[in-house]
């Protein structure tokens, strides 16, 4: 084990700060002196370390000193053979996993309820998705994990597939049997890629679901800025022993900035140290907060804060108990409506609300009084705003029909049609509610009347629908190569 109390990158920045260098390099604000309004807003200490690469601070594109050491410490802390500091968010880590594993024409197996970054990567590289449509929990209206039987069947049907990608956990806390999926895939020669954006704490907490590296996966994308405490947009890419890390670095450098932010990089260094030294204690506190909130919310009535009781040994192999996921359908309110009420009427900002659920993200930064305030607000919302739940949409996922590949559709000749007239046509762009950023439609998929009704319902309920060129989602771009299906 390496000395996890060290913070080589942060320490190098501190040394630089004390050297009182005269800057004749970028950024042009020159340690904040050229932009006093920004310095006043963010603070002099922050601006003094918003610097460019220089020899004592190493270079993110080709690290040989302090960044290299910081990445090695992170790999050691997470049980990986190699880690990479990512400043383009977990989106860039996910895309690197895919771009380094498959190329044009290759098949990759993945659940359809992936984040948009996955399908964006397929647009870039031309790989062909083989979707496993997830099983559903109809009561909650959410997609579950990957069934082992579905994984086996899909691998047999697609013997030339090069990789499989797994969401672990999902936004709602659902975990697949990652260890068995990894074993099955490796026996058939497939690489195992894990979108572990919401699972940083799996590596440090006690009695957590298995982490990607512990399960033997080849690569994992980690959102350190979610449960790990680093700055927004800072993430890690972890690699197993059999991955060619030098090639992965080349792929990263295809798309990641050559001007990596030292604010983001140092936050990764500091947060890794905190997790390595105090992660177990930290996440025990988070689990206790979430469990207390679950019990109190369920006692209110009509809400359902779910947990390990959903486990079925397969598509819900495990559950992340740090997640405070709450179903709102029995209240007669969509999750997004509860989200808006909490924000607008009670001054509480939760992570997201969809058509049937909300997610309140619990972290070590929370306090008992904040948890109590959330519980009280939810109780009052039930008392004041509860209504009949007839005509509530009961699902958050519609299985799509893939007609052509994402890349072919994205770059195809297209025409713009009013949303209501798109039934039967093939979509050439994304449509999604954000968050969570899981596409309702992706390029190459058939637009059905059910999907059109879903999009309109989501708009009417107040979901933030993004993706199309038409900013008000009144029109969609469709493939000219096919008439109505």
Structurally, how many domains does the chain consist of? 3
Same domain (yes/no): 352, 439: no
Distance separating alpha carbons of residues 103 and 85, to the nearest angstrom: 24
Same domain (yes/no): 193, 237: yes
Which has the closest alpha carbon to 128: 106, 159, 102? 106
Whether 459 is covered by a domain: the verdict is yes
Whether 48 is covered by a domain: the verdict is yes
- Domain around 359: 280-385
pLDDT of residue 394: 64
Same domain (yes/no): 286, 411: no
Bridge partners for 236 per DSSP: 85, 222
pLDDT of residue 91: 96
Same domain (yes/no): 347, 450: no
Same domain (yes/no): 24, 83: yes
Same domain (yes/no): 455, 311: no
Same domain (yes/no): 284, 254: no
Distance separating alpha carbons of residues 485 and 467, to the nearest angstrom: 23
Taking the model in full, what pTM does it have?
Answer: 0.95
Bridge partners for 58 per DSSP: 54
Q: What is the CATH number of the domain that holds 294?
A: 3.90.1150.10
Instruction: Using the 3D structure, point to which of 322, 351, 385 is the last residue of a domain.
Output: 385
Same domain (yes/no): 260, 290: no
**For the chain, which ranges sit under pLDDT 70?**
394-397, 483-485
pLDDT of residue 174: 97
pLDDT of residue 433: 87
Whether 398 is covered by a domain: the verdict is no
Q: What is the pLDDT of residues 320-350, one digit of tens each?
A: 999 999 999 999 999 999 999 999 999 999 9
Whether 372 is covered by a domain: the verdict is yes
Quick one: tokens of 158? 């697609």
Instruction: Using the 3D structure, point to which of 276, 309, 344 is the last residue of a domain.
Output: 276
């Amino acid at each position: 084990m390496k000395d996890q109390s060290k913070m080589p990158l942060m320490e190098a920045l501190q040394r630089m700060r004390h050297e009182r260098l005269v800057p004749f390099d970028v950024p042009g604000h020159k340690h904040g002196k050229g932009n006093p309004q920004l310095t006043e807003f963010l603070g002099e200490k922050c601006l003094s370390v918003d610097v460019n690469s220089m020899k004592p601070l190493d270079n993110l594109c080709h690290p040989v000193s302090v960044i290299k050491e910081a990445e090695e410490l992170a790999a050691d802390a997470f049980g990986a053979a190699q880690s990479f500091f990512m400043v383009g968010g977990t989106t860039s880590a996910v895309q690197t996993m895919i771009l380094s594993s498959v190329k044009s024409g290759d098949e990759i197996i993945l659940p359809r309820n992936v984040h948009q970054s996955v399908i964006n990567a397929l647009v870039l590289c031309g790989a062909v998705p083989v979707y496993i449509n997830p099983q559903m929990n109809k009561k909650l209206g959410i997609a579950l994990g990957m069934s082992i039987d579905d994984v086996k069947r899909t691998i047999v049907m697609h013997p030339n597939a090069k990789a499989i990608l797994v969401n672990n956990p999902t936004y709602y806390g659902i975990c697949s049997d990652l260890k068995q999926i990894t074993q099955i895939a490796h026996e058939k020669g497939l690489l195992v890629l894990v979108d572990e954006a919401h699972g940083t704490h799996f590596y440090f907490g006690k009695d957590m679901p298995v982490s990607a590296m512990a399960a033997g996966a080849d690569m994992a994308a980690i959102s350190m800025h979610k449960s790990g405490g680093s700055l927004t947009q800072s993430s890690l890419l972890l690699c197993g022993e059999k991955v060619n890390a030098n090639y992965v670095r080349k792929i990263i450098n295809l798309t990641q900035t050559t001007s990596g932010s030292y604010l983001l990089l140092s936050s990764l260094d500091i947060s890794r140290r905190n997790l390595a030294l105090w992660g177990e204690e930290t996440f025990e506190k988070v689990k206790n907060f979430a469990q207390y909130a679950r019990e109190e919310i369920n006692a209110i009535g009509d809400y359902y804060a779910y947990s390990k009781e959903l486990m079925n040994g397969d598509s819900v192999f495990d559950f992340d108990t740090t997640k405070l996921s709450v179903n709102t359908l029995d209240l007669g309110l969509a999750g997004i409506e509860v989200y808006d009420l909490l924000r607008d009427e009670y001054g509480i900002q939760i992570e997201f609300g969809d058509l049937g659920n909300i997610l309140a993200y619990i972290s070590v930064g929370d306090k008992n009084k904040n948890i109590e305030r959330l519980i009280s607000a939810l109780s009052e919302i039930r008392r004041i705003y509860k209504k009949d739940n007839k005509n509530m949409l009961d699902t958050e996922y519609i299985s799509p029909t893939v007609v052509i590949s994402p890349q072919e559709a994205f770059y195809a000749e297209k025409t713009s049609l009013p949303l209501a007239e798109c039934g039967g046509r093939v979509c050439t762009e994304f449509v999604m509610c954000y968050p969570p950023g899981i596409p309702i439609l992706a390029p190459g998929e058939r637009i059905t009347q059910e999907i059109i009704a879903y999009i309109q319902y989501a708009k009417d309920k107040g979901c933030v629908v993004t993706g199309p060129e038409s900013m008000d989602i009144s029109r969609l771009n469709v493939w000219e190569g096919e008439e109505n299906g």
